Amino acid sequence: MLTITRAFQFCAGHRLYRPEWDDRQNTSVFGLCANPAGHGHNYTLEVTVSGSLDPETGMIMNLRQLKEVVFAQVISDVDHKNLNTDVSWMQSVVPTTEMFAEKIWERIVSVLAREAPHVRLEDIVLHETPSNRVRKTRS
102 has catalytic annotation: no
CA distance 11 to 49: 23
Shortest CA distance to 78 belongs to which of 41, 133, 130? Answer: 41
Measured CA to CA, the distance from residue 99 to residue 138 in angstroms comes to 15
> 106 an active-site residue?
no
Active-site residue among 11, 39, 68, 80?
A: 80
- As to burial, measured by CB atoms within 10 angstroms (0-12 exposed, 13-18 middle, 19+ buried), residue 21 is middle
Question: How far, rounded to the nearest angstrom, does the alpha carbon of residue 22 sit from its chain's CA centroid?
Answer: 28
Active site residue 80: yes
Compute the half-sphere exposure of residue 67: CA atoms within 13 Å on the CB side of its CA: 7
Residues recognised as catalytic: 33, 80, 128
